[in-house]
Structure 1
């Protein structure tokens, strides 16, 4: 028996949340954008009225304003978007425990086992659309199909606030005419390779020689050929399955370029403080540290090094990050963006650290640092992320802020 899989995708999610929080936005063309002063001056999301002016996600604010001079701009509130995402997924979980978020505004649901309770796939999708609209003021589009890939194509097929059912009887009619780029994992490089083979649509790919596609694109070619033909048995993860975290990182595009060691120290300190806090929150320590640097001409370098010991302490991440930057970057050369990522993650309670007083003379200082940073976590958990910070970070002119 076929499974019944839903893919639910929130429509213009950031803009929808802003409209839910500020009903006056619903009657005007509006868009959520990054802060131009922080050089994030692009459109992140727009409402349906702005779409009528052809305002596009990822275009610059000035381009959008040329199309729609009366466009109302709203700053992004990422903590609110996370909150709404949790509430939406909680509604999905009223129907099934097999809910797998794909991004902040998309989730797959396996409703195969709950149709006797709530109706068939289309009925469940329509109920979800109505419930989320009524309770949260957010609209979603849903795809219903017999696998995850076709369900996702279904949610993209008709927007906004729509349900599309893709069955074994109609998938060729609905999906084969779509551009091959609509299929998951067909990025620019794969599309260019397929274009050379005169493969323009999903139907072209489905009817092509699988060995030919694999010869050009390797395992990805085999995968997307199967996807085009509706072959996908990947399960929808249960909410009770722990999802593996492979890395923990943070990055900042600064309000102005970093131009010296003091600027770099400030940026590194803020980033490492956040990364270390996230590692502790997840009960993890990292064994490798990666630093990514982007200059004003958008040239990017990435360097990484192993840590002496697995850690989730900001001071140890700061020390190694500064070493990496000093050895990889000409101090004084401007830096537009920094990102710091911890990888090689292991559970903190399983780390067998050889940190006795005999093998590590810094062990007492390390224990003191652990107590300090754990105390900061407690304060932030109780009073908000901005409740305590390093003195050098407060009132900086680089656009470094702690989320409240």
Structure 2
């Protein structure tokens, strides 16, 4: 039985959600930032903004120079998560084999049910129609016999595209592309391949596999297989793949900061946001990592591992503060700071004892979560955070998975 995989990639997801929420933004250059100020970075840009050269991860000040008439909006991650949930709900109507790989991407294995849907291409069309009808958003879909080719197909005709790549299409469609376009090939690997004289994916596909293994080890064979369109990676639903590996949040300051009070307030706000995400998604974490980006853009991380996993702000903050203090000195000016949790495990509130002091914190935390869910994030604010600078809410980095094209 031939295998058929779809890769669904939402188009300019964050910016598109903003345009759906505010129809006056439709057709206009929308630029989503961690905060709509000059020291942050662009989280997403609508296709109208991309015509000016605006791209994700670009400093906001550069985006303003390129697109002075752009509409800069602060990121609304609660809305993006909700629309991501709606999209996922739509996809699961077509097959139980759905693997979401980021907030705006997912794979579907429709093998065995593609005929019921009118064939793989018709199935992809129906997915696009259903997503648009339910959410008002467009997506691009790649259709192929494996994940690799489906992923590459979804990138070929953005936005609102549908691309079929069969095994026999690889020489004509894939091989002429620059070697850096091969999914999984990063800038360093691409540079090394070009230095070896391999400019296109076709050059890589025809290169002797033993020589690739000599240069790249085991990865050399994977590169050769990928260039030839071979990939047997299964589509694995979440209950088989396991939970997220990490959750993190970070914020970029409007100026370089060396005030310990301001830095500690930022750590507290980030810890609170991470803890709320953990509770919302039903996880606890054991290892707390602080990310520090200095004024010269050099970046360091420091970690602390807890005796027991937690989803409590207070415990995450104390570990983050300890990790931060192990590195920071008054001479260090900080541009960006982040807090992340790894070594996650699913679970509720953990084991309790009769006089467990954590139980009260758990009850209070969940009560605050319920109030914020109903009345908004700012309905309950810690007194210490009322004196925060105007840098605003942290940027949500989710699980290390950024928004795609």
1:377 maps to which of 369, 376, 380: 369
Greater CA drift, 393-402 or 310-319: 393-402
Shift of 1:173: 0.7
Instruction: Encode CA deviations 1:114-170: one digit per residue, 9 max, x unaligned.
Output: 223211111111222233334433222211110000011111122222211111222
1:175 aligns with 2:174: yes
Aligned partner of 2:9 in structure 1 is 9
Aligned partner of 2:122 in structure 1 is 123
1:18 aligns with 2:18: yes
Shift of 1:6: 0.9
Shift of 1:393: 0.9
Aligned partner of 2:277 in structure 1 is 278
Aligned partner of 1:307 in structure 2 is 306
Q: Which runs of 4+ in 1 moved over 6 A?
A: none
Instruction: Encode CA deviations 1:36-95: one digit per residue, 9 max, x unaligned.
Output: 536115372122x44444444444455555555544444432222222222222222221
1:46 aligns with 2:46: yes
* Unpaired segments ≥5 residues, structure 1: 358-362
Residue 13 of structure 2 contacts residue 44 of structure 2 at CA under 8 Å; is this kept in 1?
no
Distance in 2 between residues matched to 1:253 and 1:10, nearest whole Å: 26
Distance in 2 between residues matched to 1:391 and 1:329, nearest whole Å: 25
C-alpha distance 169-209 of structure 1, shift in aligned 2 (>3 A):
same
Shift of 1:278: 2.7
Distance in 1 between residues matched to 2:368 and 2:64, nearest whole Å: 43
Aligned partner of 1:95 in structure 2 is 94
1:401 aligns with 2:393: yes
Helix, strand or coil for the counterpart of 1:7? strand
Which aligned pairs between 1:2-401 and structure 2 lie closer than 5 A? 2-37=2-37, 39-42=39-42, 44-47=44-47, 49-61=48-60, 63-64=62-63, 67-238=66-237, 240-241=239-240, 243-331=242-330, 333-348=332-347, 364-401=356-393
Residue 9 of structure 2 contacts residue 139 of structure 2 at CA under 8 Å; is this kept in 1?
yes
Greater CA drift, 117-126 or 332-341: 332-341
Aligned partner of 2:398 in structure 1 is none
C-alpha distance 266-68 of structure 1, shift in aligned 2 (>3 A):
closer
Residue 261 of structure 1 contacts residue 332 of structure 1 at CA under 8 Å; is this kept in 2?
no
Shift of 1:392: 1.1
Residue 393 of structure 1 contacts residue 400 of structure 1 at CA under 8 Å; is this kept in 2?
no
Aligned residue pairs total 395
Shift of 1:174: 0.8
Q: State TM-score, norm by structure 2.
A: 0.87
Instruction: Encode CA deviations 1:220-239: one digit per residue, 9 max, x unaligned.
Output: 33222211112211111236
Distance in 1 between residues matched to 2:91 and 2:71, nearest whole Å: 32
* Unpaired segments ≥5 residues, structure 2: 396-405
Residue 31 of structure 2 contacts residue 44 of structure 2 at CA under 8 Å; is this kept in 1?
yes
Distance in 1 between residues matched to 2:105 and 2:169, nearest whole Å: 24
- Looking at both structures, which has the greater relative contact order when contacts are Cα pairs under 8 Å and sequence separation is at least 6? 2
C-alpha distance 378-42 of structure 1, shift in aligned 2 (>3 A):
closer
Instruction: Encode CA deviations 1:343-372: one digit per residue, 9 max, x unaligned.
Output: 22344469678xx79xxxxx6544443333
Residue 293 of structure 2 contacts residue 334 of structure 2 at CA under 8 Å; is this kept in 1?
yes
Structural RMSD (CA): 2.8
Distance in 2 between residues matched to 1:370 and 1:28, nearest whole Å: 45
Bigger Cα Rg: 1
